[in-house]
Every structure is written in C-alpha cells, then in structure tokens.
Amino acid sequence: MNAQYDVVIIGSGAGGSSLAHRLATGGRKVLLVERGQEVAKTVDGTDRYLYHVLGLDQPVSFIGGQTKFYGAALYRMRESDFREVQHEAGVSPAWPITYQELEPYYLEAERLYRVHGAPDGDPTEPPRSGPFPHPPLPHDPVVAKVVERLNASGTQVAAIPRGIDYGPGRPCTLCPNCDSHACAVDAKMDADTAALRPALATGNVELAAGVECLKVLTSEDGTRTTGVLLKADGVERVVEAGIVVVSCGIPGSALLLRRSKTKAHPEGLGNNQGLLGRYLAGHSSGVIFPILGLKSIWGRHTKTFAINAFHDEAPGTGLPGGVIQVSGQAPIWEGASKITKPIVKFIARRSLLIFYMTESLPTKEAGLVFEGDEVKEVIRPLHNDKTFANLRNLAASLFRKAGYPVITRSRNDLWHQVGTARMGVSPETSVTDTECQVHGISGLYVVDASVLPTAGTVNTGLTIIALALRTGDSILRRLAGGAKPKTRTPELA
Ligand SMILES: Cc1cc2nc3c(=O)[nH]c(=O)nc-3n(C[C@H](O)[C@H](O)[C@H](O)COP(=O)(O)OP(=O)(O)OC[C@H]3O[C@@H](n4cnc5c(N)ncnc54)[C@H](O)[C@@H]3O)c2cc1C
C-alpha cells in the first residue's frame, strides 16, 4: 500500500469490484480495500452454504461481498421502475436517470457477468441494444415438466437471466449448490470471479483484504476527499487519495460515512440534510412450495424460470403486482425449529421453492436510525400488504391450476435492500448526485446498493453493477480531464 493510487475503493462487492474492473481496464491504478477474506474452501469443496459458513444472520464480509452466496439472477430493472409509479401503500419515486441512460451499461454488465437469458415469455422485458450474451440455461427435466404444465394451463413463463459460466468447455455443471452457496468450482459469476480477478490480472489493482476502513478523510473545509484511514492487524494507517469510493453495501456505506464526521460535517459525510441512512427500500419477499410428488427431487439445479407478467399490473387491481421466481435448492430446514425441522425437510425435498416479491417503498422515515456511530434500529420501508397477499394467492393458484398441491407461507422478509445514500439531482433530497458523487464533496463517491432510489421487483444486482460501470466511466473522464474513456467490456470467449 505504498504506491500512488488514482482511486481507493472500499468494499469488494458487486459495486466495488465491478468499478475496480472498469477503472483497471481503463488503465487506472486502484487500491481495493476489503475487510473480509476469501470464503474458506471445504475439504471436498462441495457445500459452502451461507449458514454453514456464517451461521444465521451474520453480515456477509468476504472478498466478493454478498455475491459469493447470491443466486446470480441478473435482471435489468424494468422500464417502469425508473418512473414514478403509484402503488397500494404509496408512491415509488422516479429515478433521476432513465432506463435508456443505463441501457448501454446493462449490456456491458451482462457481458462481464456472462448472463444467460432470453426475452421470450416476459412481457416486461425492457428494450435492449444487443441480445443476451448467452442463451438461457436449460431446465432440469423435473423443472421442464413444471414449465410445460404451467404453459399448458395458460401461464406465461420466462427464463431467469443468470450469470453463470456455463456451456461447452465451461466449468458450470448445473449442480444444486448455487443459490445461497459459494460456488465450489468458481463457475458462478460473482463480483470476485467475474470482475475482481480479471481486474487484478491487469496489474492495475492492489487488493488489501482483511483491512477495515475506519474513516474517509476530507479537507478541513469539507469540500473534497483526501484519503482514508485503514486498520489491519491492530495497526492504523492513512492512505492519501483524491478519489475515494465507498462500496461497503447496506448498512456499511452509510455507517462509514457517518463515522467519517468532521467539524465541517458534524453528522457524517453526505448527511448535512439528515438524509444518510434514509429512504431504505427493497423487496417484500415470501415463499410458496408447489409439491411435485412423494419422491424426493433433491440435488437439482432448479433456478431457471420466472413469471413476470404481473410486475406492472396485478390482475383486476390497476396497480403493480410483483414477480414470481423459482429459487435454487437450499437446506432451508436448518433455520427451522427442532420440532418443525423434519416436516420442513420433507416438504423442501419434494417441492420447488418459489419466491414471490413485491416492491417495498422508500420513505424518508424508512432506514437506519443511528445512535452515535452505530445503527440502533432499522425502520422498514412501506410494505404493500394487500398486493403481497394477492400475489401469494395468485402464485399458488397458478401452480394449482398446473396440477400441483401448494403450501404457502405468509411471512414477508425484506430482501435486495437498496437506499440509505440515494442518488438524486438535488442535495436537498439525496446524498449523491446522478454520477454517484456525494453532493458537495469532490472526489467522494458511493457505488453499491445504497444509491439505488427504488428496488422495483426484480433482483437488483445487475443494476448495481451497471451503475458501477457508469460511475467508472465518469471517474475515468474526470481523471482524463474530460476525455471520453476508450474501454468497453471485451466480448467474451
Ligand atoms: C443469499 C443471497 C442471494 C442473493 N441472490 C441474488 C440474486 O440472485 N440476484 C441479485 O441481483 N441479488 C441477489 N442478492 C443480493 C445481492 O447479492 C446484493 O444486493 C449485492 O451483492 C449487494 O452488493 P453491494 O456492492 O451493495 O455490497 P455488498 O455485497 O454488501 O459488499 C460490501 C462489501 O464491503 C465490505 N465492507 C463493508 N464495510 C467495510 C469497511 N469499513 N472496510 C472494508 N470493507 C468493508 C464488506 O465486507 C463487503 O464485502 C442475494 C443476496 C444474498 C445474501
């Protein structure tokens, strides 16, 4: 960590690593600081399930961030997600940029993360300037039968776009250990495998793993960033930099900015209007279990289809609905109580795990409540109660119509969280500008889930990556004195 860096990035998740890739391929020197280490490999390398590695409810702190365990469902947010939309419980606000502005970066993000997909069967698929880089993943025979019966009973089914290194000569074997697992053969295109490793291969990125950033440093008048205070093995040191990017995820980015307070910014950087930590949003997510039969179907790669036709309108309501998506197999019974465990295990091994997700809306009240420099409480975003219940009933009815008995669960969990340092045009209502630079502090950027103003209802990972590439171009332009960056994500072999 002695060299001069053009940019210091804190956090190696989807935002941080994708940005590092962009800057490194643009010829810039980057220091990437990550407090976690590599996900430890097991002896046989077969099962590194989230809860085995971390236990329940631990923050995901690894090289690659949460994407080491994600399901690699890499969706473009739908065109309407960028506009103001009325929901049952309130309004989903408009983004300060349009889908069309982000579209070229979605295409590059799909190439970088080797997304397999097709627009067929998805009426909400937004316009694209190029095809999906790879064809959709094939369905497992058991899943193919379900898709066939859904289609035959009149339900429009589409492929889930997946970031997987699959195809002739490629490492993915479509094993069951994908969603909620770290890939044993590095075939899942996570932030580490898809972006960070190629970025390191350029020689332009230095990775400081196991190092925590304690503070972002700013000039005395608070108008520009000057570097970071890091801590490793109990030793603190300052690294100077004119451009610092905070990519610590939720709640990490808001916390780091809060802890970086100075006389000029007494409530934390980007918090002069009290907006840091606010406008949390995400997906209200529930599950249903269509039972496929008495025989176990365990050990299959199931995450290949979705029903997105109700994203813009739930039938008969005139209001947005949500999406229905099959998940990968995971030993979900491990989170169950001792008494219910055998029942959950019996059901999980004979059914598909189907998520249904509605949008949870950002409000100024929703988000992180700080006490000093810690998060005391998290206030959840606005949940669309009736829409959520209707979508559950609708999802269950579609599978029943296709001939499957269905067990439903009414709990709603907040997933795919976004916000807490949202982007916008005005410093009165947002933490960063539309290039993800913190209002009023030159050289300080936030690039991760925290800047997304809303979550729509499809998975948000590809949008985090596309925004990171876009901010990368903005930083490259700035470093080149305004010249247009030459890099584009290379076509993959
Ligand atoms: C099980 C699971 C499945 C998912 N499936 C999908 C899916 O299929 N599709 C999808 O789109 N999304 C999915 N998601 C969500 C998606 O993974 C996240 O939204 C996304 O990865 C968030 O990226 P990020 O860049 O905001 O930050 P994070 O992934 O949260 O990364 C932040 C990183 O910053 C580091 N950090 C934090 N503070 C500091 C500090 N002070 N100093 C140094 N380092 C620091 C952390 O250790 C972490 O590695 C899933 C998530 C989980 C957990």
SS3 letters across 391-402: HHHHHHHHHHHC
Q: Which 3 state secondary structure label does DSSP give 400? A: helix
In this predicted structure, what is the pLDDT of residue 491?
Answer: 47
Regarding the beta carbon of 328 and ligand 1, being less than 6 Å apart is answered: no
In this predicted structure, what is the pLDDT of residue 47?
Answer: 75
- Measure the CA–CA gap between 468 and 26, rounded to whole angstroms: 14
Nearest ligand 1 atom, CA 72: 8
Q: Residue 52: which pLDDT band, with cuts at 50, 70 and 90? A: confident
Instruction: Compute how many other C-beta atoms are within 10 angstroms of the C-beta atom of residue 339.
Output: 7
DSSP state of 416: E
Q: Is there a contact between 249 and 449 (Cβ–Cβ < 8 Å)?
A: yes
Under 8 Å CB-to-CB from 435, ≥6 apart: which residues? 445, 470, 471, 474
Span 310-334, average pLDDT: 95
Q: Where are the beta strands (DSSP E) in 117-166?
A: 158-159, 162-163
In this predicted structure, what is the pLDDT of residue 492?
Answer: 43
Regarding the beta carbon of 115 and ligand 1, being less than 6 Å apart is answered: no
pLDDT at 183 over 80: yes
Q: Is there a contact between 21 and 196 (Cβ–Cβ < 8 Å)?
A: yes
In this predicted structure, what is the pLDDT of residue 44?
Answer: 66
Span 46-68, average pLDDT: 85
pLDDT at 345 over 80: yes
pLDDT at 413 over 80: yes
Span 283-289, average pLDDT: 97
- Residue 181: phi, psi to the nearest 5? -115, 150
Name the token pair of 298.
């365990």
- Measure the CA–CA gap between 280 and 273, rounded to whole angstroms: 16
pLDDT at 34 over 60: yes
Regarding the beta carbon of 14 and ligand 1, being less than 6 Å apart is answered: yes
Ligand 1 pocket test, pick from 54, 248, 305, 334 with the greatest ligand atom count within 8 Å of Cβ, gives 248
In this predicted structure, what is the pLDDT of residue 235?
Answer: 97
Conformation bin of residue 300: beta by default, left when phi > 0, alpha when psi is -120 to 50: beta
Regarding the beta carbon of 180 and ligand 1, being less than 6 Å apart is answered: yes
Ligand 1 pocket test, pick from 48, 70, 454 with the greatest ligand atom count within 8 Å of Cβ, gives 70
In this predicted structure, what is the pLDDT of residue 57?
Answer: 73
- Return the amino acid letter for 170: R
Name the token pair of 58.
């631990």
DSSP state of 224: B
Regarding the beta carbon of 253 and ligand 1, being less than 6 Å apart is answered: no
Span 72-76, average pLDDT: 98
Q: Which 3 state secondary structure label does DSSP give 475? A: helix
Q: Is there a contact between 227 and 238 (Cβ–Cβ < 8 Å)?
A: yes
Q: Residue 286: which pLDDT band, with cuts at 50, 70 and 90? A: very high
Q: Residue 493: which pLDDT band, with cuts at 50, 70 and 90? A: very low
In this predicted structure, what is the pLDDT of residue 486?
Answer: 62
Under 8 Å CB-to-CB from 461, ≥6 apart: which residues? 14, 67, 70, 72, 73, 74, 75, 416
Nearest ligand 1 atom, CA 462: 11
Q: Is there a contact between 220 and 94 (Cβ–Cβ < 8 Å)?
A: no
In this predicted structure, what is the pLDDT of residue 53?
Answer: 81
What is the Å distance from ligand 1's center to 13 Cα?
5
In this predicted structure, what is the pLDDT of residue 232?
Answer: 96
Nearest ligand 1 atom, CA 460: 11
In the chain, % of residues over pLDDT 90: 91
Q: Within a 13 Å sphere around the CA of 93, how many CA atoms are in the beta-carbon half?
A: 20
pLDDT at 488 over 60: no
What is the Å distance from ligand 1's center to 33 Cα?
15
Q: Which of 35-49, 152-166, 224-238 has the lowest mean pLDDT?
A: 35-49
Regarding the beta carbon of 196 and ligand 1, being less than 6 Å apart is answered: no
Q: Which of 269-278, 404-413, 482-491 has the lowest mean pLDDT?
A: 482-491
Q: What is the mean pLDDT of the chain?
A: 95
Name the token pair of 94.
């408009």
Nearest ligand 1 atom, CA 33: 43
Span 427-441, average pLDDT: 98
